[in-house]
């Protein structure tokens, strides 16, 4: 069969690092091993019933059988604005400052194509969500990484970025609560970010995917709560994590009017719009009962405590995450992150994500998801303990 070559665009895309890890885990599962998957980022709980019921009801409405408005229904934009007012005290103009997205990932990949030209500079956290790199590659932009180090609470140090880079930078990605480190941002850090963006004309994109998941009584801060934030950037909020709607592919961007307009323009060329019944269900999620969100957060905190306390009890010196549903764990001496991930898979049948897959500064760590039951997490601790690689 004739093979048609891929375009230069596809060849520029970063390799899917984790595909090989998933393949390895599948091989063990096919052989009958009980693999505990702690490497995923896929919520394990179902979508709350009241949201599902709204979808079922809305699916019978003939209006939703037609093309939706290209930029989304006004009621969903209003629901997003109401959500931000209720949760963060931030006033959002529903028509001018909200863009409906086909999941948060779509918006993150589209943004470099909206705002950058070939050769423009983008500031990206390292370690960070690998799909930031995909949008940068598509835009033929240049990526400069901002190291996230434990001694800096996994926040970038802006005084370490050279003036030459800052002059060239047009876009910056941030993500708190952070994937993969579980760190959270402070209001002072966001204020510093706004000052930097104003001074150097940098658009800030804050990926707020884990905005609902904060521990020890601390609610994660929205970037838009910062004075001047809407002048210099946007925030992307997905329903995937907050409401266990990962498979529904619905999110929204809020903030700077010009950026929102650019997002809507590119989506006008790429899509029609989300199925109307999904939009109705999303509006129900944002404006309906929020008990499910609080219960979910409490469940993740219990899981975090079971995992971290269990690992500490067997002698693994690990630190508890402050947010997100990930833990960022230092690998033992003598292993790279990939070697340790392979070791756990081979010897204990536990899948974790090697830190190097999130960037150069991810080396020395593995990411563990809090997306299995407490019993499975306890079993993972027991299996790791039996390897006898830690001293109590």
Token pair 């885990």 is at which residue?
A: 25
Give the pLDDT confidence score for residue 392 in this predicted structure: 64
Instruction: Specify if 3 maps to a domain.
Output: no
- C-alpha closest to that of 276 among 248, 238, 244: 248
Q: What tokens appear for 352 in the block?
A: 């974790």
CA distance 260 to 338: 39
- All residues at 6 or more sequence positions from 241 whose CB lies less than 8 Å from its CB, including other chains: 43, 209, 210, 212, 213, 325
Long-range CB contacts (< 8 A, 24+ apart) of 378-385?
378/306, 378/310, 379/36, 380/36, 380/38, 380/307, 380/348, 380/350, 381/307, 381/310, 381/311, 381/313, 381/314, 383/36, 383/348, 383/349, 383/350, 384/311, 384/314, 384/316, 384/344, 384/348, 384/350, 385/314
57 and 16 assigned to the same domain: no
35 and 84 assigned to the same domain: no
Q: In the listed set 287, 303, 337, which residue is the last one of a domain according to the structure?
A: 287
CA distance 287 to 76: 10
275 and 296 assigned to the same domain: no
pTM for the complete prediction? 0.96
Q: What tokens appear for 282 in the block?
A: 């999303």
For CA atoms 162, 164, 165, 169, the dihedral sign is positive
- Tens of pLDDT along the chain (392 residues) come to 999 999 999 999 888 777 777 888 889 899 899 999 999 889 999 999 999 999 999 999 999 999 999 999 999 999 999 999 999 999 999 999 999 999 999 999 999 999 999 999 999 999 999 999 999 999 999 999 999 999 999 999 999 999 999 999 999 999 999 999 999 999 999 999 999 999 999 999 999 999 999 999 999 999 999 999 999 999 999 999 999 999 999 999 999 999 999 999 999 999 988 999 999 999 999 999 999 999 999 999 999 999 999 999 999 999 999 999 999 999 999 999 999 999 999 999 999 999 999 999 999 999 999 999 999 999 999 999 999 898 76
Tell me the residue range of the domain where 33 lies: 8-46+292-386
35 and 63 assigned to the same domain: no
35 and 59 assigned to the same domain: no
25 and 139 assigned to the same domain: no
141 and 85 assigned to the same domain: yes
Phi, psi dihedrals of residue 117, rounded to the nearest 5°:
-115, 160
Q: In the listed set 243, 269, 287, which residue is the last one of a domain according to the structure?
A: 287
Give the pLDDT confidence score for residue 21 in this predicted structure: 76
Report whether 324 contacts 182 (CB < 8 A).
yes
Q: What tokens appear for 197 in the block?
A: 């963006």
Residue 330 β-bridge partners: 365
In the three-class reduction of DSSP (H, G, I as helix; E, B as strand; rest coil), residue 7 is classed as coil
Give the pLDDT confidence score for residue 391 in this predicted structure: 77
Q: What tokens appear for 100 in the block?
A: 């409906």
CA distance 137 to 128: 15
CA distance 372 to 350: 12
* Cis peptide bond N-terminal to 180, omega within 30: yes
263 and 156 assigned to the same domain: yes
235 and 110 assigned to the same domain: yes
Number of domains in the chain: 2
Instruction: Specify if 2 maps to a domain.
Output: no
271 and 202 assigned to the same domain: yes
CATH number, domain of 347, equals 3.90.1150.10
147 and 270 assigned to the same domain: yes
Instruction: Specify if 1 maps to a domain.
Output: no
- All residues at 6 or more sequence positions from 363 whose CB lies less than 8 Å from its CB, including other chains: 336, 337, 355, 356
Q: How far is CA 144 from the centre of its chain?
A: 20
- All residues at 6 or more sequence positions from 202 whose CB lies less than 8 Å from its CB, including other chains: 123, 166, 169, 170, 171, 172, 196, 232
- C-alpha closest to that of 135 among 166, 178, 98, 171: 171
Q: Residue 20: in which H helix or E strand, if any? A: helix 17-30
Instruction: Specify if 328 maps to a domain.
Output: yes
Instruction: Specify if 216 maps to a domain.
Output: yes
């Amino acid at each position: 069969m004739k093979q048609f070559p891929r375009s230069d665009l596809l060849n520029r895309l970063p390799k899917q690092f984790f595909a090989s890890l998933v393949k390895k885990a599948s091989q063990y599962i096919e052989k009958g091993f009980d693999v505990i998957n702690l490497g995923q980022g896929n919520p394990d709980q179902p979508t709350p019933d009241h949201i599902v019921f709204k979808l079922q009801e809305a699916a019978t409405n003939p209006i939703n059988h037609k093309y939706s408005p290209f930029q989304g229904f006004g009621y969903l934009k209003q629901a997003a604005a109401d959500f931000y007012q209720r949760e963060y005290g931030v006033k959002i103009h529903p028509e001018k400052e909200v863009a409906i997205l086909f999941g948060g990932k779509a918006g993150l990949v589209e943004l470099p194509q909206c705002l950058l030209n070939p050769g423009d500079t983008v500031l990206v956290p390292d370690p960070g969500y690998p799909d930031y790199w995909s949008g940068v590659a598509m835009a033929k932009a240049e990526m400069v990484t901002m190291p996230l180090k434990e001694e800096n609470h996994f926040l970038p140090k802006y005084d370490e970025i050279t003036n030459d880079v800052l002059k060239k930078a047009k876009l910056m990605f941030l993500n708190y609560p952070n994937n993969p480190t579980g760190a959270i941002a402070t209001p002072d850090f966001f204020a510093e970010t706004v000052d930097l963006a104003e001074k150097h004309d940098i658009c800030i994109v804050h990926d707020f995917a884990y905005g609902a998941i904060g521990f020890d009584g601390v609610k994660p801060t929205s970037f838009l709560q910062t004075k001047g934030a809407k002048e210099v950037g946007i925030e992307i909020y997905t329903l995937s994590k907050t409401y266990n709607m990962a498979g529904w592919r619905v999110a929204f961007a809020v903030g700077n009017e010009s950026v929102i307009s650019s997002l809507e323009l590119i989506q006008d060329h790429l899509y029609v719009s989300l199925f109307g019944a999904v939009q109705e269900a999303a509006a129900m999620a944002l404006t309906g009962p929020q008990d499910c969100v609080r219960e979910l957060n409490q469940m993740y905190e219990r899981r975090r405590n079971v995992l971290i306390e269990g690992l500490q009890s067997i002698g693994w010196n690990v630190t508890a995450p402050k947010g997100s549903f990930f833990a960022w764990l230092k690998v033992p001496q003598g292993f790279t992150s990939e070697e340790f991930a392979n070791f756990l898979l081979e010897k204990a049948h536990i899948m974790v994500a090697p830190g190097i897959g999130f960037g150069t500064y991810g080396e020395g760590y593995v990411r563990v998801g809090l997306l299995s039951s407490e019993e499975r997490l306890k079993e993972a601790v027991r299996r790791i303990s039996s390897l006898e690689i830690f001293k109590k």
